[in-house]
Structure 1
């Protein structure tokens, strides 16, 4: 992803500081992202993508199927505890993203608000997922689903003893 960001930045004739300013990210963070030495938040990558007139999925997904069908998705986020998020696919119009998340026991991901009107659909495959929302927590078990507005502060938590595995669909972000 860092290589794509650098290539798009150079195509525009922008320096690192110019893209950092446009994407509301520090120059240091942008440099680390381009070098593959950072684990930026999904919102940070999204801001950089918008500054480059593209979207998150265009930066994160492989450009072709050269990896073959055995690849489940593109690893976009991971934490030291083994929690991770895979981007499985995306559409442009309407804009939607399909994700598979795994949160280790006691794992947490703090999200930043998306654009006004954006939504997420969550479907739990195994474990228990707590959605920490401004209106209060919502707990989902295996086979349960929920739709939330993602234009608010929210977080994903696993307060259980086994990994929480869930599918996430993002629309309008």
Structure 2
């Protein structure tokens, strides 16, 4: 589903609250199924050690890794990532899922189940970059720039979008978001089919 970059790049990471939330939810779903850590690790194509660290909130997993584990549990990234209304005050501001030392960050604002779609708000600081891993075949993203300039780099080339401009890309390939300007770039992202 999401993101998540080579899940993330060297300058960025998943947010601590997000890591704790998804770890607890993954563990609870695994135990509900009666699965061992090893069984889920194999189903989610992640190492047993990494999965244990994720469940304990000690790992900094890529978003792609979280998505693979979610699929293995027959759920989706948003179900693991978004705050629950009851437990966490409604999540009106979304879930901080990714952040970088330069102030770049990504908020998952909401999602639908069927058809699957996610709504994100991204902020990229000047010189900010996010490298993503491919989503499932057929997945797409719609981007709409609110301020600044966003460069979408895909295998076939790059496209620069300014304020008010939108574009659709296939996200079943390696791609990246870049801000090559001096002004912060803010954009909305809708993910479908991931």
* TM-score of the superposed pair, with normalisation by structure 1: 0.93
1:49 corresponds, among 41, 45, 70, to: 70
Q: What aligned pairs does 1:1-173 form with structure 2 within 5 A after superposition?
A: 1-65=22-86, 67-68=88-89, 71-173=92-194
Q: CA deviation at 1:82?
A: 2.0
Alpha carbon RMSD of aligned pairs, Å? 1.6
CA contact (8 A) 2:84 2:90 kept: no
CA contact (8 A) 2:82 2:91 kept: no
Structure 2 runs not aligned, ≥5 long = 1-21
Which stretch shifts more, 101-110 or 133-142? 101-110
* TM-score of the superposed pair, with normalisation by structure 2: 0.83
Structure number with the bigger relative contact order (C-alpha 8 A, sep ≥ 6) is 2
CA contact (8 A) 1:16 1:27 kept: yes
Question: How far, CA to CA, are the matches of 2:85 and 2:91 in structure 1?
Answer: 14
Q: CA deviation at 1:68?
A: 4.0
Kindly provide the CA deviation profile for residues 153-173 of structure 1, in whole angstroms up to 9, marking residues without a partner as x.
Answer: 111111112221110000111
Structure 1 runs not aligned, ≥5 long = none
Instruction: Describe the SS at the equivalent of 1:14.
Output: coil
Instruction: Describe the SS at the equivalent of 1:109.
Output: strand
